[in-house]
Chain A
């Protein structure tokens, strides 16, 4: 999956400035940067929840030119191949946990209900919530809700899972539950694109780091080098220091 020369403006504020990025399959790409830098907008563009004014999007054989009207069939293809996990979970409150997970497979992929339920139960077990299948989202903690959201996304068998600050709304303890699930997915070579402020986690999980600031990409490459102390990009060093990474070591 890749985007090339993408531009996006909100009003007269240009949030993405001619951005090109590729997201290698089977790897974990982590987008970091200050708030309002445009990293969430990049992520949401990958699921077509935001529509850039110009630029290109490529996913397998599918090619989308953002300056043209996007065909409904292409939107559906992208949405099937990518799954979004939101900061605020956005579970469906009128469905049980199990129904949240089976809704996509049954309604969009046309799976049989029994098959979808069997798989949903496996996925819930995988995220450690087998016993919550019949609960309603309102009864879950934030960490549980976010793990259901991850299971809901996994049920669609997306090539890429996109996570928009998945743990920003969580206490550190609950955050760990979610991060463990994500580390597990990364180990299984599930392609992930994660926007996060948690640099310790980014360092642990990322194959590739993208540093975004003011709608521009200041770093795009190997995660190890990004966090290396001898990184000669002063701006990145300042950012890392400001996030007081030292105190986490």
Chain B
């Protein structure tokens, strides 16, 4: 290797550790992780409400509410996330209703991101939670009923704890997916870590290095989540551990 090439390489390595990675991590903590965590928490709340509405056996006027939630899940599962982001950020300002919304709905990029990611995650996770609730045997409902528990208490104390345990792996999938999907936020002007790596690549003409670096950081974040999933699964199966110890 020529002296020049070696010098060039060490310069790049130096920049990677003192400049590029710090910038990517800073954007990662400021936007990628905050977007993902806030959206996931809001998404879980939306998902739980949606799942409970959809499994409810209430009739009458409640059927309309059920239909609205069913429509919401259908809408967000049937359209691309990128398109949803564009509609919320670029489209809603043009939703002008005279008298009611004369100026449309103008959202800050971060707010638009949170709203879209939460609703998108909520739609998918609601199906996970609904299936998990329905996977708890009917007999658990009966056993709770026979000691006088009402439906709400049975859900809270007996059914949901068992259902949430079942849904840890699929919900972890959703969370990991969400972390990676936040890269789409670059398209609505949020300077998250993918956007940062694009900007650096435009300056230093090193797209391979920059995009590989950001890929590595995504992988790192997701690996932490996978580890967290394993820990959660273990913690939630306390009641099977003792049987292993006995066996």
Q: Which residues does A use to contact B, with CB under 8 Å?
A: 47, 49, 72, 76, 79-80, 82-84, 86, 88, 90-94, 96, 103-104, 107-109, 135-139, 152-153, 156
**Could you write out 5 A-B pairs with CB less than 8 Å apart?**
A47-B145, A92-B158, A94-B239, A139-B243, A153-B146
Identify whether the interface residues of B are mostly helix, strand, loop, or mixed. Answer: helix
Q: Chain B contacts of A47 at CB under 8 A?
A: 145-146
Contact B147 A136 (CB under 8 A): no
Contact of B240 among A72, A107, A138 (CB under 8 A): A138
Contact B240 A86 (CB under 8 A): no
Contact A139 B242 (CB under 8 A): yes
Closest 6 CB pairs of A and B: A136-B239, A104-B147, A84-B146, A90-B143, A79-B148, A108-B148
Known contacts A90-B139, A103-B157; decide if A136 and B148 are in contact (CB<8 Å): no
Known contacts A72-B150, A94-B239, A107-B157; decide if A86 and B143 are in contact (CB<8 Å): yes
Q: Which residues does B use to contact A, with CB under 8 Å?
A: 137, 139-140, 142-150, 153, 157-158, 161-162, 165, 238-240, 242-243, 246
Contact B147 A108 (CB under 8 A): yes
B138 closest partner in A (C-beta):
A90
Q: Chain A contacts of B238 at CB under 8 A?
A: 136
Q: In the assembled complex, how far is the CB of residue A143 from the closest CB belonging to chain B, in whole angstroms?
A: 16
Q: Chain B contacts of A80 at CB under 8 A?
A: 148
Q: Chain A contacts of B165 at CB under 8 A?
A: 94
Q: Chain A contacts of B145 at CB under 8 A?
A: 47, 49, 79
In angstroms, Cα B165 to Cα A107, docked, is: 22
In angstroms, Cα B148 to Cα A112, docked, is: 17
Contact B148 A94 (CB under 8 A): no
Contact A135 B242 (CB under 8 A): yes
In angstroms, Cα B144 to Cα A76, docked, is: 12
Contact A156 B162 (CB under 8 A): no
Q: Chain B contacts of A139 at CB under 8 A?
A: 242-243, 246
Q: Chain B contacts of A91 at CB under 8 A?
A: 143
Q: Chain B contacts of A83 at CB under 8 A?
A: 146-147
Contact A76 B148 (CB under 8 A): yes
Chain A CB within 10 Å, residue with most, of B139, B143, B150, B243: B143
Known contacts A76-B148, A136-B243, A139-B243; decide if A90 and B157 are in contact (CB<8 Å): no
Q: A76-B150, A83-B146, A90-B137 are in contact. List 17 more A-B contacts (CB 8 A).
A: A47-B146, A49-B142, A79-B146, A84-B142, A84-B143, A84-B146, A90-B140, A90-B142, A92-B143, A92-B158, A94-B161, A103-B157, A107-B153, A138-B239, A138-B240, A138-B242, A156-B148
Chain A CB within 10 Å, residue with most, of B142, B145, B148, B153: B148
Q: Chain A contacts of B144 at CB under 8 A?
A: 92
Q: Chain B contacts of A109 at CB under 8 A?
A: 148
Q: In the assembled complex, how far is the CB of residue B163 from the closest CB belonging to chain A, in whole angstroms?
A: 10
A156 closest partner in B (C-beta):
B147
Contact B148 A104 (CB under 8 A): yes
